[in-house]
A and B are shown apart, each in its own frame.
Chain A
Amino acid sequence: MIGPPQKMAWLALAIILAPGPSHATEIVVGSKKFTESVVLGEIVAQLLRSAGLEADHRRELGGTQILWNALLRGDIDIYPEYTGTLIREVLADETIRDKDELRNLLARRGISMTDPIGFNNIYALGMKKDVAARLAIHSISDLTRHADLVLGFSNEFMDRSDGWWGLRRVYNLAHRNVRGLDHDLAYRGIQSGDIHVTDLYSTDAEIQYYDLLLLQDDRRYFPDYQAVLLYRSQLAQTAPGAVPVLARLESAIDEPVMIAMNAGAKLGRLPESRVAADFVERHFGLRAAAVDETATRRLLRHTFEHLILVGVSLAAAILVAVPLGVLAHRRPWAGQVILAAVGIAQTIPSLALLVFMIPLLGIGGAPAVAALFLYSLLPILRNTHAGLRDIPSPIRESAEAIGLSPTAKLRLVELPLASSGILAGIKTAAVINVGTATLGAIIGAGGYGQPILTGIRLDDVGLILQGAVPAAVLAILVQGLFELLERFVVPRGLRLRPAA
Chain B
Amino acid sequence: MATDLTADAGRTTVLIGPSGCGKSTVLRLMLGLIKPDDGQVLFDGVPYNRENTQALRRRMGYVIQDGGLFPHLTARNNVLLPAKYFGWKAERIRARLAELRGLTRFPADALDRYPVELSGGQRQRVAIMRALMLDADALFLDEPLGALDPMVRAELQKDLREIFRGLGKTVVLVTHDLAEAAFFADVIVLMSNGRVVQASYAGLGELARAPAEPFVTQFLDAQRTVLALEQRSP
Interface residue tally of chain B, by bracket? 20 to 34
Which residue of chain A has the shortest Cβ distance to B63 in the bound complex?
Answer: A398
Q: Which of B72, B85, B116 contacts A416 (CB 8 A)?
A: B72
A395 interface hit (Cβ, 8 Å): yes
The answer on a CB contact under 8 Å between A394 and B68 is: yes
The reply to whether B85 and A408 contact each other, CB–CB distance below 8 Å, is: yes
User: Which B residues, 26 to 75, have Cβ-Cβ distances below 8 Å to chain A?
Assistant: 28, 31, 33, 54-55, 57-58, 60-62, 64-66, 68-74
* CB pair B114 A402 closer than 8 Å: no
- Residues of chain B in range 12-34 having any CB-CB distance to chain A below 8 Å: 28, 31, 33
Main secondary structure of the interface of B (DSSP, over half): mixed
Taken together as a complex, chains A and B put the C-alpha atoms of A493 and B71 apart, in Å, by 6
Kindly identify, within residues 390 to 428 of chain A, every residue whose CB is under 8 Å from any CB belonging to chain B. 394-395, 397-405, 408, 412-413, 416-417, 419
Chain A min CB distance to B141 (Å) = 11
- Tell me whether A52 is interfacial, beta carbon within 8 Å: no
Q: Please, which residues of chain B bring their CB within 8 A of the CB of A403?
A: 54-55, 57-58, 82, 85-86
In the assembly, what is the distance between CA of A157 and CA of B70, in Å? Answer: 63
Q: Indicate if the CB atoms of A496 and B70 lie closer than 8 Å.
A: no
> Number of residue pairs across A and B with beta carbons under 8 Å?
72
Contact with A along B79-120 (1 / 0, CB 8 A): 001100110000000000000000000000000001111000
A residues 464-499 with Cβ under 8 Å of B? 491-494, 496-499
Q: In the complex, what residues of B have CB within 8 A of residue A395's CB?
A: 68, 70-71
- The answer to whether B72 touches A417 (Cβ under 8 A) is yes
Question: Which residue of the partner chain, among B33, B58, B86, contacts A400 with CB atoms under 8 Å?
Answer: B33
Chain A hits for B81, CB < 8 A: 402, 412
Assess the A401–B114 pair: CB atoms within 8 A.
no
User: Which residues of chain B are within 8 angstroms of A401 by Cβ–Cβ distance?
Assistant: 31, 33, 57, 60-62, 140
Q: Is the CB of B68 within 8 A of A493?
A: no
Residue pair A496, B85 in contact (C-beta under 8 Å): no
Q: Are A402 and B33 closer than 8 Å at their CB atoms?
A: no
Task: Using CB atoms, name the residue of chain A closest to B142.
Answer: A394
Contact, CB under 8 Å: A496 / B117: yes
A402: chain B residues within 8 A (beta carbon): 57, 62, 81-82, 85, 130
Contacts of B60 in A (CB 8 A): 401
Contact flags (1/0) for A190-228 with B, using CB distance below 8 Å?
A: 000000000000000000000000000000000000000
Determine if A498 and B68 form an interchain contact, defined as CB atoms under 8 angstroms apart. Answer: no
Give bound CA distance, A330 to B114, whole Å: 28
* Partner-B contacts on A (CB < 8 A): 394-395, 397-405, 408, 412-413, 416-417, 419, 491-494, 496-499
Which 8 residue pairs across A and B have the least CB separation, nearest first? Answer: A493-B114, A491-B72, A398-B68, A401-B62, A403-B57, A498-B116, A416-B72, A394-B68
Beyond A394-B68, A491-B72, A496-B114, 19 additional contacts (C-beta under 8 Å) are A394-B64, A395-B70, A395-B71, A398-B70, A400-B33, A402-B82, A403-B58, A403-B86, A412-B85, A416-B70, A417-B71, A417-B72, A493-B72, A494-B71, A494-B72, A496-B116, A496-B117, A497-B116, A499-B117
